[in-house]
Structure 1
Amino acid sequence: MILDSSIFKAYDIRGIVDKTLTESVARSVGQALGTLGAAKGVKKFIVGRDGRHSGPKLAAALAEGLQAAGMDVIDTGVVATPMVYFATHHFATGSGVMVTGSHNPPEYNGLKMMVAGETLSGEAIQGLRHMIEDGAMVSGRGKFEKSDVREQYLQRIVGDVKLARKMKVAIDCGNGSPGAIAPELFTRLGCEVEALYCEVDGDFPNHHPDPAKPENLVDLIEALKKGDSEIGLAFDGDGDRLGVVTKRGSIIYPDRQLMLFAADVLSRNPGGEVIFDVKSTRNLFDWIRKHGGKPTLWKTGHSLIKAKLKETGAPLAGEMSGHVFFKDRWYGFDDGLYAGARLLEILSKVADPTQTLESLPDSLSTPELHVNVPEGANHKLIAKMQASAKFPGATDIVTLDGLRVHYADGFGLIRASNTTPVLVMRFEADSEEALARIRGEFDRVLAEFNPTSAKPH
């Protein structure tokens, strides 16, 4: 079978429905996953989907492919991605596929995949492509059943998370699949819920379901200003990421959220390791040490963070993009709904959640900046920079994932995106002057190694 190789990304499979990602492709991927599962002793896969219009046909084709490889399939219907991860534990399969386009536009869809307890990434995803192209797949006749895990998922969280007092919260689901469960979850936890855009609609008529972008939080900020909710929570299109807004309208970015989670988790896990990605604030190093933990900087990417979490046994990890991974009291997968519940558990113990959140250490920083480059050029450019770029005055240069250059008064980052042909940049500093100076250093290096590059945007 001839495939469009561009859909096989670093952390998932993703493409435009009926163009690069068809039912035929989904069926073949299902059979390849079943073949991989069979080699690892797997007999059963969980399948779920988000609220996109293309979800039913792609999920059905995927299930057919899995069954054609001899795998039994449990279809959980329309769910948030973490509910598929939860179902792999609940049914003890360790294997599942979520059909989701996450925060991509409506014409996209994709597959997030887990086999025998491991989230597929990188070479494993390319391995599926080769398997399909070579036709090297097993065949069999698996069974199919439907099962709703909603109640078990709700009971598991409500049984674990206890609020010290009732709270009023505003939640914005951006018409993504978390809308089908989030209002009920937070009501059961003891909250009065003000629900925004919780009707699941694959056209996303109100705003894009991506809380990482400030423009998608405008309606939530407005609701907090007008109403009497204490805090705002926003979820992405498939519910594995969390956005947080205070009563005063401040956005608490995920690396600062992680500080609050780290202080809580380390109170029960003294000396524990807390993992965060290269895009995150440098304030996490001192904060985690101050609370008795060990800070670990790691590569960006939810699959890579999960693998590191498993390897180290760390009780907590987080990414600047909004993925938070609790091993403390939870399973170690990224779950925006559970992270929101854990946040409310902490904030229910204080009189003023806004004050608690806004007093977390902060620095001047830029959002994620992107530099477009030709397809395939980003990783080559970064490799050249790592080999010979000079940063006078730097206190430390980390080449774990791109170049993260530390100075006494801030840091700069440039790395290759694993999902699109761009260079990703981010800067943080103690003053505007320092921020401008560090950005200037990176602009100089960028011009030296890629003279035709456009300005970051």
Structure 2
Amino acid sequence: MQIPQEIFKAYDIRGIVGKTLTPEIVEAIGQALGSEATARRQTQICIGYDGRLSGPELAAALSRGIRKTGIHVINLGMVATPMVYFAAYQLGTNCGVMVTGSHNPPDYNGLKMVLAGETLSGEAIQGLRQRILDKQLFEGQGSESSYDIAADYIAKIKTDIQLKRPMKIAVDCGNGVAGAYAKKLYEAIGCEVEELFCEVDGHFPNHHPDPSVPENLADLIAALKNGDAELGLAFDGDGDRLGVVTRDGNVIYPDRQLLLFAAEVLKQNPAATIIYDVKSTRHLAPWIQARGGQPVIWKTGHSLVKAKIRETGAALAGEMSGHVFFNDNRDGQKRWYGFDDGLYAGARLLEILSQVNNASAALNSLPNSVSTPEQHIQMQEGEPHALIATLQKTATFEGANEVITIDGLRVEYADGFGLMRPSNTTPVIVLRFEADNLEALQRIQAQFRTIILKAAPAARLPF
């Protein structure tokens, strides 16, 4: 059996079902995970799967592989990814594996993995493949039990969140697995919920479950315009990312959401560290500093951000893609656990906005700039990393105040920033631009265009 190298990504495992990701391959990975867990002195692993059609079969294969090593499997069934992370804490396993294709097309699936409290990334994920190739696999006879984590999860959030007033919201789950839980969760904290596409359907018949793409929010914007809900929440396919739309149809991108979350978290967690990724708005650093916090800019990727939270003890972190990580205290008590959870982030947003009469006005008043959404330059496998590595050594950016190279090139100017970084999941260069005005944005883009085309004349730029 071939174990394709290309499915072992930077933050997770991801492949095409029946081609690069089969039950046999997932079973082998399960045995590698069970062996790695054993090596880390773990005895139990929680598993779950999202609403994709291949989920039950691949989860069964995963369980077989894990049990071959003598590890006990707690099968959570069809759940959102953050519910697996929550179960690892709640049930004391410290380990969880989620079968999910996240926001990839319907024929994809994959694995997000936590062992001994560490979200696997980079070399640890490559190490699983190496274990299989080297036959460094433990043998044993593990058992399996089932557990319904949803009741615990909703009860925990219900005790944590206190709305100051009832709210009516519209929720678009894009037929992803969040649809199985969103209404019940938000009703539990005191909301009236209008549902859009909350029937779990792995064909994704209405629109793709990826709220970071503005077109996927069109139905939610229309529902807010035509109905009486005061706010719209949207979720990705596995429920770990949040999209937000105001009553007047404005998309509040995750980096702007983080401004609101940071202000609230710093009230109870003075001088806390707050992490944001290189794609995020430059308004964050001065905003966090003005409220007594410590801003930290970091690499993109949910696994890498979680590792940075563990290293720094940050109370909050967020990514432009919509992953938000709460790790804060209230009155000295831990509120949440530092993992990315779109459903919980939605509840925290509602708690903050319930303190004001006009939720949309509060969101629209957050600092804003002229900016682009995430843009991509399509390339061949391996080319993006090579090009960015070259430009990190050779490119000079006239007029720049600072060039940040922790993840690609983020170039800061007095009136804006430009970013180019190699994606760790697909062979593209990711671009993002932000500036005080359109003229400054176009000037920064022009400089990037010249530098990129000088190094890669055949590149097809999206701007």
The question of a shared fold, defined as TM-score above 0.5 by the shorter chain, is answered with yes
Residue number in structure 2 paired with 1:295: 295
Residue number in structure 1 paired with 2:224: 224
Residue number in structure 2 paired with 1:430: 436
What is the alpha-carbon distance in structure 2 between the residues aligned to residue 146 and residue 398 of structure 1? 47
Residue number in structure 2 paired with 1:404: 410
What is the alpha-carbon distance in structure 2 between the residues aligned to residue 164 and residue 436 of structure 1? 44
> How far off its partner does 1:404 sit?
0.3
Once the two structures are superposed, residues 385-406 of structure 1 have per-residue CA deviations (whole angstroms, 9 ceiling, x without a partner) of: 0011010110001011000000
What is the alpha-carbon distance in structure 2 between the residues aligned to residue 248 and residue 290 of structure 1? 29
User: Aligned to 2:379, which of 373, 377, 382?
Assistant: 373
Q: What is the DSSP-based 3-state SS (H/G/I as helix, E as strand, rest coil) of the residue aligned with 1:24?
A: helix
1:125-164 equivalences under 5 Å are 125-164=125-164
Question: Residue type of the partner of 1:417?
Answer: S
> How far off its partner does 1:380 sit?
1.1
Residue number in structure 1 paired with 2:62: 62
> How far off its partner does 1:448 sit?
1.3
1:304-319 equivalences under 5 Å are 304-319=304-319
Q: What is the DSSP-based 3-state SS (H/G/I as helix, E as strand, rest coil) of the residue aligned with 1:157?
A: helix
Asked if residue 26 in structure 1 is aligned to residue 32 in structure 2, the reply is: no
> How far off its partner does 1:456 sit?
2.4
What is the alpha-carbon distance in structure 2 between the residues aligned to residue 368 and residue 172 of structure 1? 22
What is the alpha-carbon distance in structure 1 between the residues aligned to residue 225 and residue 17 of structure 2? 39
- TM-score (normalised: structure 1): 0.99
Question: Residue type of the partner of 1:395?
Answer: N
Residue number in structure 1 paired with 2:451: 445
Indicate conservation of the 8 Å contact 1:2/1:133, yes or no: no
Once the two structures are superposed, residues 85-131 of structure 1 have per-residue CA deviations (whole angstroms, 9 ceiling, x without a partner) of: 00000111111100001111111110000100000011110000111
Question: Residue type of the partner of 2:51?
Answer: G
Q: What is the DSSP-based 3-state SS (H/G/I as helix, E as strand, rest coil) of the residue aligned with 1:245?
A: strand
Question: Residue type of the partner of 2:195?
Answer: A
Once the two structures are superposed, residues 51-85 of structure 1 have per-residue CA deviations (whole angstroms, 9 ceiling, x without a partner) of: 11100110000000000011100000000000000
What is the alpha-carbon distance in structure 2 between the residues aligned to residue 153 and residue 431 of structure 1? 44
Residue number in structure 2 paired with 1:261: 261
Asked if residue 37 in structure 1 is aligned to residue 37 in structure 2, the reply is: yes
Question: Residue type of the partner of 1:40?
Answer: R
Residue number in structure 1 paired with 2:420: 414
Residue number in structure 2 paired with 1:190: 190
What is the alpha-carbon distance in structure 1 between the residues aligned to residue 128 and residue 423 of structure 2? 21
Question: Residue type of the partner of 1:426?
Answer: R
What is the alpha-carbon distance in structure 1 between the residues aligned to residue 183 and residue 2 of structure 2? 43
Residue number in structure 1 paired with 2:331: none
Indicate conservation of the 8 Å contact 1:373/1:422, yes or no: yes
Once the two structures are superposed, residues 339-366 of structure 1 have per-residue CA deviations (whole angstroms, 9 ceiling, x without a partner) of: 0000000000001001100000000001
> How far off its partner does 1:412 sit?
0.3
Indicate conservation of the 8 Å contact 1:366/1:426, yes or no: yes
What is the alpha-carbon distance in structure 2 between the residues aligned to residue 414 and residue 333 of structure 1? 26
Aligned identity (percent) is 61
Indicate conservation of the 8 Å contact 1:243/1:254, yes or no: yes
Q: What is the DSSP-based 3-state SS (H/G/I as helix, E as strand, rest coil) of the residue aligned with 1:98?
A: strand
Residue number in structure 1 paired with 2:462: 456
Number of equivalences: 457
Residue number in structure 2 paired with 1:391: 397
What is the alpha-carbon distance in structure 2 between the residues aligned to residue 345 and residue 456 of structure 1? 39
Q: What is the DSSP-based 3-state SS (H/G/I as helix, E as strand, rest coil) of the residue aligned with 2:148?
A: coil
Q: What is the DSSP-based 3-state SS (H/G/I as helix, E as strand, rest coil) of the residue aligned with 2:396?
A: coil
What is the alpha-carbon distance in structure 1 between the residues aligned to residue 454 and residue 129 of structure 2? 37
Question: Residue type of the partner of 1:197?
Answer: F
Indicate conservation of the 8 Å contact 1:85/1:96, yes or no: yes
What is the alpha-carbon distance in structure 2 between the residues aligned to residue 128 and residue 378 of structure 1? 25
Asked if residue 341 in structure 1 is aligned to residue 341 in structure 2, the reply is: no
1:62-211 equivalences under 5 Å are 62-211=62-211
Unaligned runs of 5+ in 2: 329-334
Question: Residue type of the partner of 2:375?
Answer: L
Unaligned runs of 5+ in 1: none
Q: What is the DSSP-based 3-state SS (H/G/I as helix, E as strand, rest coil) of the residue aligned with 1:127?
A: helix
More divergent stretch after superposition (446-455 vs 120-129): 446-455
Once the two structures are superposed, residues 209-253 of structure 1 have per-residue CA deviations (whole angstroms, 9 ceiling, x without a partner) of: 000001000000000000000000000000000000000000000
What is the alpha-carbon distance in structure 1 between the residues aligned to residue 342 and residue 380 of structure 2? 33
More divergent stretch after superposition (244-253 vs 6-15): 6-15
What is the alpha-carbon distance in structure 1 between the residues aligned to residue 382 and residue 286 of structure 2? 37
What is the alpha-carbon distance in structure 2 between the residues aligned to residue 157 and residue 338 of structure 1? 7
Residue number in structure 2 paired with 1:284: 284
Once the two structures are superposed, residues 254-275 of structure 1 have per-residue CA deviations (whole angstroms, 9 ceiling, x without a partner) of: 0000000000000011111110
What is the alpha-carbon distance in structure 2 between the residues aligned to residue 46 and residue 379 of structure 1? 35
